[in-house]
Amino acid sequence: MKKILFFLSFCYSIISMAQPLPISDYWNRELERVEHVNGHAAFTSLKPILKSEINYRKLTGEVKDSAKYYSTLSRLFFRDHLLEYKKDDAHITVDALLQLEYYKDQKNDQYNKSHSRLYQNSRGVLLQGKLGTAFEFQTQFIETQSVLPYYQDTIAQILGVIPGMGRHKPFNKVGYDYGVSQSWLSYSPKSWWAFEVGYGKQMIGNGYRSLLLSDAAMSYPMLRLHILQPRWQYHTTAAILQEQIRLPLGDTGESLFRRKNGLWNYFTFLPTTRLEIGIMEGCVDTRWTPQGMVAPPLHSYVPILGLRGWMAQKDTNNFTLYGLNVKWNLTTKTTFYGQYVKTTHGGNGQGYQVGALFTDIGIKNFDVRLEYNKTGSHLYQNSSQNWMGYTQQNQSLGYIQYGNTEEWIARLHYRYNRWLMDGHYNQMDQTLGSGSDAYDDNHIEVTGYRLLQQMQLEVGYLIHPHTRTCFYLGFLQRNDTRTYSDLMGNARRERWDGQLLTVRFSCDISSRYFDF
């Protein structure tokens, strides 16, 4: 029976797809905390990072819970996995994923009346495990029905996707129905290299945002190769991306989307135990022309940083950018970080980020993040084909709001035992017009200015550490004003405001951005 279970588990991991640490601001802070508390050298800029590569037993969700529980139900609700198999070299767990959220908007009365209740109802499953010393796997899926607040609904309508989730279909006339999934299979027979197959997201950076490679867009299929050394690492990822543009209808009932190849080569090294420096090359190549689908060019698969971009210099159906990521741990509780990004082929733009993360300020588990992001015009925009920019499913693969933008961010987090307090403020200033959007066809559609100010406060209770399932009560204030002139020269002013009271019971295993 043991051999049969092991074989079935192994087969399932192959078809379902490593145990990566989730990508979100909470887990990113926890990663920095546990990796640098003893001043050890650690690579933390490329995410997701496998649990096997870090001291994950010190993470909040993995620290042994010494509390006494007097029933199986209470243990499942507050501590244990829903299902768990652990024997010899096999360890497999199953957990339920829930995100139940209710909104009360104090503004937008007309919209609220037409949409009745505002809510989100998400249900899913997380399966993960490790087989022997070489295989790790994870697979998850979440199905959602939601009726969104006004500003979120507006963003979803304009993008044609739910931010970070993907395409949606109608639900009860005023709502949305959509699903999201992620899967990983990692094979690392030696300590110095690993190979992964997955469907998910990545992030390069140590901040809340990333200008180089962000987790804000929809998931995509990918292959990743890692070379791991004590003082340096090299990572290369090949992915299939697509846009919300249909191909001419063929034999199928629903035409496919235009696809393109993505390739990221990333080299990072540790000059000292407190300093990490990374250099990235990001490239996009077309897989479609007006004559039909085409094979990607040879340079689309070159996993050597610099050589791939050099080979693509004369390819007009190509987009290439380079970036620098720096992280400096001044102390075990203070981290400074920054990024610089520059488009070198297919576009013309640049941007930078500076930030700081302070952990355990004055008292244990009180963290503060401060961050500034600046992007110039045409940063992620292809100069000849708007859909061939640095994008995936109508969203940026870099900074979440494209170009011509500067943003200030402050985030606070405090945990006392299982009680939580979170605060988030961001202000975004954007010059509208040419170069502010990767899809604007390089001509000025509008000229104007946008100002976003959003503040969110939440208090909550941590229920289940493994999936970071929490109960929260919150308040959100959003002021979003666009003042511009349209193509006819008429002055326009739009407001996408919101004032929400929120109640949510949710897990925190991926980021979901509506603060842009």
* DSSP characters over 36-68: HTT------SEES-BGGGTTGGGSTTTS-----
Tell me if 181 sits within 8 A of 142, measured CB to CB.
Answer: yes
Query: Whole-structure pTM over 0.75, yes or no?
Result: yes
516 located within any domain: no
What is the rounded CA–CA span in Å between residue 185 and residue 198?
A: 6
CB 415 within 8 A of CB 365: yes
Residue 8 within a domain: yes
Contacts of 338 (CB under 8 A, 6+ apart): 325, 326, 352, 353, 354, 355
Question: Residue 348 carries which side chain, given as an amino acid letter?
Answer: N
In a domain, residue 55? The reply is: yes
Would you state the structure tokens that stand for residue 444, as one six-digit string? 């000025």
Asked whether residue 482 is assigned to any structural domain, the reply reads yes
Q: Tell me which residue of 276, 254, 256, 258 sits closest to 267, measured CA to CA.
A: 276
Phi, psi (degrees; rounded to nearest 5) at 190? -125, 155
**Beta carbons of 263 and 236 less than 8 angstroms apart:** yes
Considering only CA atoms, which of 325, 428, 430 is closest in space to residue 377? 430
Q: Does residue 47 sit within a domain? A: yes
- Taking alpha carbons only, the member of 158, 141, 139 closest to residue 150 is 158
Encoded tokens for 233? 């690492």
Residue 33 in 3-state DSSP?
helix
Contacts for 273-277: CB closer than 8 Å, 24+ residues apart: 273/39, 273/40, 273/41, 274/39, 274/328, 274/329, 274/330, 275/326, 275/327, 275/328, 275/329, 276/42, 276/43, 276/44, 276/45, 276/325, 276/326, 276/327, 276/328, 277/324, 277/325, 277/326
Distance CA 310, CA 42 (A): 31
Q: Say if 515 falls within a structural domain.
A: no
pLDDT of residue 258: 84
Per-residue pLDDT, 427: 97
Q: What is the DSSP letter of 297?
A: P
Using CA atoms, how far residue 332 sits from 32, 35, 274, 276, 336, in Å, is 9, 9, 9, 14, 11
The CATH code of the domain that includes 402 is 2.40.160.130
What are the Cα distances from residue 52, in Å, to 47, 188, 195, 225? 13, 10, 14, 16
Per the document, the length of the chain is 516
Q: Which residues contact 74 (CB under 8 A, 6 or more apart)?
A: none
Give the pLDDT score at 247.
Answer: 66
Phi, psi of 157 (to 5 degrees): -70, -45
Contact by Cβ (8 Å): 95, 82: yes
Phi, psi dihedral angles at 82 (to 5 degrees): -60, -45
Contact indicator for 47, 29 with CB cutoff of 8 Å: no
Give the integer Cα–Cα distance in Å for 177 and 405: 31
Please answer whether residues 403 and 349 qualify as being in contact, where contact means their C-beta atoms are separated by less than 8 angstroms. yes
Look up the domain containing 74 and give its range.
2-506
Domain count, the chain: 1
Q: Average pLDDT of each block of 10 consecutive residues along the chain (516 residues)?
A: 38 44 86 72 86 72 71 82 87 92 93 92 92 87 94 91 88 91 88 90 95 94 93 95 73 69 95 94 84 76 86 80 95 93 85 95 92 94 82 93 95 94 96 80 70 97 89 96 81 90 90 88
